[in-house]
Chain A
Amino acid sequence: MRNAIEFRVYGDYALFTDPLTKLGGEKLTYSVPTYQALKGIVESIYWKPTITMVIDKVRVLNAIRMESKGIRPIEYSGGNTLANYTYLKDPCYEVQAHFIFNPHRPEMEYDRNENKHHNILKRSLLAGGRRDIFLGTRECQAYIEPCVFGEAPGFYDNYGDIHLGNMVHGINYPDETGRNQLEVRLWEPVMKDGVIEFIKPEECTKVRVIAEMQPKRFDENNVQAADELLAEWEGWGMK
C-alpha cells in the first residue's frame, strides 16, 4: 500500500486497559490492542501534524495469555495503595499502517511532500522509532522492527474467528475530526485467523461525545517543513 509500513512490535508485557476496570484502578487488559494503542505506537515511530496515521490491520502472533501482578500505585492524596494489574504476557504483533495528509490541517499544506514523509517514516522504523515504544501503558516497554506482514508463523493461523465483543476503537481528537470535541469510538472487532482488520475511524458508528476540546494550532511559525529541512541539509552537504 502507498505510504505504508509493516512492522513487528513485541515486549514482555502489555496492558491495553479495559476502560471498565480503569474506573476503580484494578486494571485488566483487553485481549488485543486497540486501534488507538497501535496508532500511538506508529506515532512514536514518526509523527508530524501534517500527517495522520491510519492502522490497517494487526496480527496477533502469540497465544493471548494473561498474568497478574501486585502493583503499588501512587495515591495522589498521599501515601500509596495496593492493586492487582493484569497484563498480557509475551505480546507480539505484526502491524500494517499507512499515513494520509491530515485534511483538517490545511495550514500545514505547505509541508505535504508524500515521498519525503514516507522515507522519514521508513528510516525511523529502521532506527526503532523516534520515541519510546510501549504497549498500552508506559511500564510495558516494547521494541519494533520492520517485517513482512503475515510471513512469520503465528499461534492463530487457521484458528477461525474469535469475536472480541464490544471494545474501544480509539479516541477522536479535534485536530483529526474537525469537530471541537473529544469523542470515544467503539466497535466490535472479529479476529480472523489472528488478524484484525480495522475499520477506519470515521466508519465507526458508535461514537460517544466526552467533552469540549480545541485543537492545537500548528503552522509555519512553529513547524519546519520537511522540504525546508532537506534543503538545509543539502546546503550543509555543499559546504
Chain B
Amino acid sequence: MSWLLNLYETYNSNDKCVGVIEKKYNDREYTLLPIAHTTQNAQIEVEITEQGDFHSARVLDKTEFSTLIPCTEKSASRAGSVVAPYPLHDKLSYVAGDFVAYGGKIKKEEPFAAYIQQLEGWANSEFATPKLKSIYRYLSKRRLIQDLVVGEPVLYLDADQKLITTWDKKYEPLHGEKPRIFTAVPGEVDSVFIRFNVYSPDKALTKVWKDTELYDSFIGYYSQLLGEEDICYVTGEKLPGTDKHANKIRNSGDKAKLISANDTSGFTFRGRFTHSHEAATISYEVSQKAHNALKWLIQRQGKIMENRVFLVWGNDSPEVPCLTDNDNIFAMEFGSESSRPITLKAHTNQEFAFDLAKALSGYRNKLAIKSASKANVNILVLDSATTGRMAVLYYRNLDKKLYFDKLIDWHSKCAWLHRYQKDGQGDLLQFWGAPATKDIAFAAYGSKANDKLVKGLMERMLPCIVDGRRIPQDIVRSATHRASNPVAMDKWEWEKTLSITCALINEREGYDVALDKENTDRSYLFGRLLAIADVMERNALDKDEKRSTNAIRYMSVFSQHPERTWRTIQNALQPYQAKFGKQLNYYSSMIDEVASQIPFDEFNNEPLTGKYLLGFYSQRYKLYQKTEKKQDEGNHAGDEDHKEDSSSGM
C-alpha cells in the first residue's frame, strides 16, 4: 500500500486525537490537525460578547501563542503581497476594518474587504455557529483598532492619531515605558496576529480555537467550495481535488513540499502531459489528512538528523484507539538521546521496550498474541535536496510480526557486550545487543563525524535491519581501523568503538562473547595473545598508573604485522614479568598455550582480519572476569583458589 494511503488511514484510525493538544518532552505543543486547519502564533486575543460587542483585549504570553486556526487552500500558501485572508483569525491588516483610517499601509486591494466577504459567506451559511455569528457581527462594524487603543490599550496611536508600528523613545511622553506589544510582535505592529474569542458573563464557553463544533462548521462549509471532482490517485475515489499541498512538514519553518507542481519549464511531468493535473490528481481530503498525519507523527515519534526524518509507525486497524503500540520502538536504534534503556522507559512505551527485551531472551509469547492482528508497520525516511521540495528516500510497509522478527534478528545477530551507556546515576550499564545506528556511525567515522555522513549511514543501515542485509564492508572496515588505533582516542571512546566494531564483525561471524578456546582462526588467536599481553602489563602496573600498555600502543601495527610486532611486545613485557612472582607462570603458560595453537606457517606477518578484535575482546573479558571473581572470593579461599584458576588456564 502506498505511503500516502497509509498516512491517510493512520489519520482516520486516530481521529480521536484530532485537535487534542499533546506535549513533547521539551514542552512544545503539537496536535493532529483537523483538515482545513493550521496553527499560527497569535499575539493579541480579542474577546467579543455574544451580542457582537467589544469586551476586552490582551497581549498574549509566549506560552499561549499557539493557535489552531481554520485556513483555506489559498491562505495556507499565501506569500508576498497576495491577498488571501484566513477565514477567521488573521493579521491586523486583514481583520481591522479601520486599518487604513489609522494610517495602515496597504499595497493594492484592501485585505479587509476580502476578509469580511469571506467571513460573511461562512457566517451566513447553514454551517454557521452562534460564536461565529457574534464575531462576524462585531467585525463588520469596522472598529477594531478604535476599540484596541482606548481604555486599557493594547495598540497605541501617535500624536496624529495614527497607529505606532515601531516603538521609538519619542513616544514615551505619550505612553510611558515601551508597551509589551512591541516586544511580543516580531517585526512591525501592523503585522500582529489577532485571534478572537467569545465571552459570556454567565457561562463558560470553549475557546473558539479549541471548539470542535467550530472546526466541523468550517470543514462542512469549506467542503462545499472545493474544486471539481476527479479520481484521487491515492484512494481511487472520485473526490474534489486540490493542487496545493502542505508544507511545514518537518517544522514550522520548513518550506519543502512532498507534492509540488509548479515546475512548468522542466520536464518533470511534461512530455505526454502538458499540465500537472493531467499527470496526477489527489483529493483535498486525502492530501490534508495524509499531510496532517505525517506532521503529527513526525512531532510525536520522528527522529530528525540533519533535516533527514526517520519515522516508524503502525497504522493499526481502526479499533485500536491510538498507535502507541510501536511508539518509539526504533528509539532503541536511533538517536543516542533516547537510546539509554532507562530513559527510554521514562518517556516512551515501556511495554514495548519490555516486550522486545523479553522477546530477545526467548519469551516471545506476548508479542505473538499482539502480532496476531493484521497490523502493519511503516518505515519512512524523508529528506530534501533543495529547499522547495522533499523526497521520500525510503519507504517500507511490512507486517508487524515480520518487523519484530527482523528487529529481534538484528538484535541477536549484530550483537555484542557493550558498556558505554550510563544510567541516571552515571553508573555504566552493561548491555547485550545491537548498537544504535548513530553509534555505529560514530564508531566508523569518529565522534566528530559530519552530520551528513551520519544521516547517510543511518539510511544505509536500514536495509541491514529490515531486510537482514549484510552490513556494508566499508563501514565494518572503517570501524575496524579505528578500533585498532586506541592511542588516537580517549579510553572510553575506544572501548565504545571496540565493542561496536565487535558487534559489526560479529554480524558476519556469529561468535559469542565467551572465550572460544576451540577457535583456531589465526586472527582470533593473535587477538587473544594481544589481550593476554595487555592484561598482564596492566596488572603489573600500579592501580593509579593510567598510561597505555605496550600492547595497546602497538595494536595498530600489530594488526598489520602480527609476528614482528608480537616480538616487540613480548620483549617489552619482560620488565613487568619480573614483577610477578608465582603469577608469572599463569600468564606465560597461557601465552604458550595460545601461541602453540597457531600453526607454524601461519605465524607470520600477514595482516589480521577484524576477527582478531573478537579474540581480543573475549580473552580480555575472560581475564578481567576472573580477576574480579578472584577478588570477590579471595577473602574466603585465598591461595587455593588461585592455584585452581591457573591450572584451569592451562
Interchain CB contact (< 8 A) of A75 among B261, B266, B276:
B266
Bits for B237-276, please: 1 = Cβ < 8 Å to A, else 0.
0000000000000000000011111010111110011101
Q: What's the tally of chain B residues with a CB closer than 8 Å to chain A?
A: 48
Residues of B within 8 A of A20 (CB): 4, 233-234, 259, 280, 282
Assuming A66-B394, A85-B391, A166-B233, is B385 touching A26 (CB within 8 A)? yes
Specify which of A64, A165, A206 is in contact with B234 (CB 8 Å cutoff).
A165
What mask results when residues 201 to 228 of chain A are scored 1 for a CB within 8 Å of chain B, else 0? 0000010101100000000000000000
Cross-chain contact A25 with B392 (CB below 8 angstroms): no
Complex Cα spacing A82 to B387, Å: 10
Query: A119 interface residue, CB < 8 Å from B?
Result: no
Chain A contacts for B230, CB-based, 8 A:
208
Task: Give per-residue flags for A49-89: 1 if the beta carbon is below 8 A from chain B beta carbons, else 0.
Answer: 00000000000000111111010011111000111111001
Closest to B383 in A: A84
Within 8 A of B (CB), among A146-200: 162-168, 171, 182, 186-188
A26 contacts B391, C-beta separation under 8 Å: yes
A67 proximity list for chain B (CB < 8 A): 394, 463
Shortest A70–chain B CB gap in Å is: 6
Please name all residues of chain B whose beta carbon is closer than 8 Å to the beta carbon of A113 when the two chains form the complex: none
Q: How far is the CA of A210 from the CA of B279 in the complex (A)?
A: 8
B101 at the interface (CB under 8 A from A): no
Q: In the complex the two chains form, what is the Cα distance from A83 to B258 in whole Å?
A: 12
Name which residue of chain B comes closest to A26, CB basis: B391
Convert B436-448 into 0s and 1s, putting 1 for each residue whose CB lies closer than 8 angstroms to a CB of A.
0000000000000
A109 located at the interface, meaning its Cβ lies under 8 Å from any Cβ of chain B in the complex: no
Q: Are B392 and A21 in contact (CB under 8 A)?
A: yes
Q: Which of B231, B257, B392 contacts A186 (CB 8 A)?
A: B231
CB contact list, B340-390 vs A, under 8 A: 381, 383-386, 388-390
Judging by beta carbons under 8 Å apart, are B385 and A22 in contact?
Answer: no
Contact check, A206 vs B231: say whether CB atoms are below 8 A apart: yes
Cβ of A23 < 8 Å from any Cβ of B? Answer: yes
B232, B274, B279, B383 interface centre (most CB from chain A within 10 Å): B279
Q: Which of B372-420 contact A (CB under 8 A)?
A: 381, 383-386, 388-396
User: Which residue of B278, B281, B386, B396 contacts A211 across the interface (Cβ within 8 Å)?
Assistant: B278
Determine the chain B residues whose CB is within 8 A of the CB of A70 once the complex forms: 385
Nearest 4 CB-CB pairings of A with B: A26-B391, A166-B236, A19-B280, A25-B268
Seed contacts A24-B389, A25-B389; 17 additional CB < 8 Å A-B pairs: A18-B2, A20-B259, A22-B279, A23-B279, A25-B268, A26-B389, A76-B266, A81-B266, A82-B385, A83-B386, A84-B391, A84-B393, A86-B395, A162-B1, A165-B2, A165-B5, A211-B273
A-B contact pairs, 13 of them (CB 8 A): A19-B233, A20-B4, A20-B280, A23-B261, A24-B259, A26-B392, A65-B463, A66-B393, A68-B391, A73-B266, A171-B272, A186-B236, A187-B236
